[in-house]
Structure formats: structure tokens, C-alpha cells
Amino acid sequence: MATNSTIGNDNQNKKIIQWGVKTILSHGYQLKSTMPEEVQNTPWSHVVRFLTTHGVIYLKNTPDALALEAPIIRILYDQFDAPVAEVIAHNAELNCFLMKDAGKALRVILKKKFDETLVFRAIDQFTSLQLAVAERVDVFLDMGVPDWRLEKLPDLYRQLLLQKDILIADGLSEIEISQLKDLFATVVHLCQKLSSYFIKHTLVQPDLNDNNTLIDDKTHNITIIDLGEIAISHPFFSLFNFLHVIKKYHDLTETSEVYLRLKDYCFKKFIPLASEQYLLDAISIARPLFFVYAALGNYRLMQACDKTKFTGSFQRHGRISPSLKELMAACL
């Protein structure tokens, strides 16, 4: 994987800002200031916003290995009529793009008052998109979106476990790595078993959550953002993350009526005629494999970024190891 990044390079950042200003003006917008406001600055994403007379415009820059986001968004927008941000312009050379403002984070709204119907709408938008993409995954595989379908997952897992130095630095012991290697046959079996449910592979967003789901104040349209790290894999993996984050940030428990309704709504669309037990079985099989997917996603993110910047709070006391420890807890 590519490891170079434009993020953090002052000269490159100046070029990106200059391109953003010039492009915004060329599209007929008037800037209130040529100095943008910083929104996010991480090793994997640098986002600033410009205030214009026609609203806010965002400029996003990513490392080379995550630079497919703008083409992904455009395909989703043009070919799937997807609820994604509108890209104004894309600069492939500088790994950056401009997009229109799409509203306020769902999390902000839910923190003020938890609105279950809004969460249902967000789930519906994303799962409907997953079902549409499932019929045409080759469009994304052909453009370089990672192929993490179930038949590929065991080998990707095995390759990850070969990165011994990285795994130890991330918080795993040699004994734990050995135990994880012993789980290879289990991972193969789970992948084969889950495949028997005939749920089609589709796009999976590793960080699907209520903070990456925006609501427009006027139109109430829902927009899904942060799509640069998608892979083609099992649809449940995104939904597990969504439910985990909703539970974490909004004080829900796994036995609460609200959480159970949200969980049911997440998965039922994929096998609508199945019995409740059949669906629960599919979810229980997919759950440990989600930890494999999550570990792969974090490994991909780490490999994409400048290693000198992926330290401190960005390391979070291990990015790969927590998911692999969860896998051991679920399987051993």
C-alpha cells in the first residue's frame, strides 16, 4: 500500500488551499474570507471550510491510498442517486476535493432530543444504498475499492497476522498472535457458514455512525459522508459499527426497547422473509467476523498514513489489537 501523504506538508497545503480558493471563485461563489476555518486535521483527513455568500464549502485532503473518496461519491451520486455529498470539483493530483455543506451531524440533533424516527431514516437510507450497490459491486472493484468479500477475508486475516512487529507495537503479545493464528480455521468456517445465508456483498463503510450522517436544516435530507475507506464486504459489518456507536453515545443498552427496534430495523431488510431465529443466527455468525473486518480497516488506515504523524492520541492505545482481542474473546 502507498504510505506517502500530502497531509502536513505546508507547501502542499498552500497549493491545496490556493486551488480551493481559485476553484470556488470560478464556480461563481463569493468568498467571505480566503482564509478557511479548520474542521479536522488527522493523519488520514484534513478538512477545512470556506464561508461563501451561498453557504459553506468544504475542502478535504487525504493520503494517496485513501484518495478514491471523490470518485466514489460521484459514482454513488450519479449512478445510484445516493444520499451523499455533492462534489463541486476534484483535484486528483493534490488528492483533494470540494463539496457542498449538507447540514448538521445527526449526533448533535440526537443529543438534544433522541428521535428514533430520524435514526430509522438514516438506517433506511444506508441499507437501501447497500442493497442497490450489491447488484453492481464490480463498478467499485474496478476502480480499486478493496475486495474484502467473505471468500477473501481468511487470507487477508492471515496476511495481517504476518505483520508481527506492527501487531506487537500495537499492543498484542506473541502468545496472543499465536492464539490468533490458531483461529484461522475458525475464521474460514465462519466465512463459509455466513456465505450460506446468501446475503450479497456490497459497500461497507467502516465508520458508519451518527456523526458521519448529516441532516439538512431546511430540506431535512439525510447525507452520508466519510466514504473514502469503504470496502466491498458483508453489509452487516457497517451496521454493527452503527449500532455500537449509537449505543455508546446515547446511553442505550443492548436490552433496551429502542436499541432492539433499531437492531431489528438494521438487519431485517437483507433477509426479509426469514424467521426471527434465522436472522439472529446470521447476525451471531457475522459478529466475530466483524472484528476481523475492523482490524483490517484499521490496518489499512495506518498503512495509508504518514507513520511519523500516526502517534499519540491517534494511536489510541492500539488500533488493530482491540478488534483482534474481541475476536479472541468471541471465539476462544
Q: What pLDDT is attached to residue 10? A: 82
pLDDT surpassing 70 at residue 81: yes
For position 313, what pLDDT does the model report?
A: 63
Q: 332 pLDDT band (50/70/90 cuts)?
A: confident
Q: What's the domain count of the chain? A: 2
Structural domain harbouring 244: 104-331
Same domain flag for 132 and 22 = no
Residues 142 and 91 in one domain: no
What does pLDDT average to over the chain?
Answer: 94
One-letter identity of residue 66? L
Are 94 and 158 within one domain?
no
Q: Are residues 257 and 321 in the same domain?
A: yes
Identify whether 26 is part of a domain: yes
Examine the domain organization and report whether 142 and 231 are in the same domain.
Answer: yes
| pLDDT category of residue 273 using cuts at 50, 70 and 90 | confident
pLDDT band per the 50, 70, 90 thresholds, residue 5: very low
Average pLDDT value for residue range 34-47? 94
Domain boundary pick from 100, 125, 154: 100
Domain assignment of residue 294, yes or no = yes
pLDDT per residue as tens digits for the range 124-142: 999 999 999 999 999 999 9
CA angle 249, 123, 70 (to 5 degrees): 95
Dist CA 59 CA 39 (whole Å): 10
Q: Residue 33 — φ and ψ, nearest 5°?
A: -160, 140
Share of the chain above pLDDT 90, in %: 90
Residue finishing a domain among 84, 100, 116 = 100
The pLDDT assigned to 314 comes to 66
319 shares a domain with 202: yes
Residue 3 lies in a domain: no
Is it the case that residue 316 has pLDDT exceeding 90? no
C-alpha 102/C-alpha 58 separation (Å) is: 10
pLDDT in tens, 235-249: 999 999 999 999 999
Residue 195 in domain: yes
Tell me, what amino acid is at 271?
Answer: I
Provide the H-helix boundaries in the chain. Answer: 10-26, 69-80, 106-112, 116-133, 138-141, 153-161, 164-169, 174-182, 184-195, 236-249, 257-268, 276-304, 321-331
Residues 137 and 267 occupy one common structural domain: yes
The last residue of a domain, from among 65, 100, 135: 100
* pLDDT value of residue 315: 63
Answer whether residue 2 is part of any domain: no
Residue 36 near residue 49, CB atoms below 8 Å: yes
Same domain, 78 and 116: no
- Mean pLDDT value across residues 96-107: 97
> pTM value?
0.94
For the segment 248-266, the average pLDDT, to the nearest whole number, is 96
pLDDT band at 8 (very low <50, low <70, confident <90, very high): low
Residue 309 has pLDDT above 80, yes or no: no
Predicted confidence (pLDDT) at residue 317 exceeds the cutoff of 70? no
**pLDDT grade for 46, boundaries at 50, 70 and 90:** very high
CATH code of residue 203:
3.90.1200.10
The sign of the torsion formed by the CA atoms of 331, 123, 249, 86 equals: positive
- Whole-number pLDDT of residue 34: 87
Q: What is the CATH number of the domain that holds 45?
A: 3.30.200.20
In a shared domain, residues 58 and 201: no
Is 18 in the same domain as 124? no
Residue 182 sits in the same domain as residue 278: yes
Same domain, 209 and 264: yes
Query: What pLDDT, on a 0 to 100 scale, did the predictor assign at position 2?
Result: 34
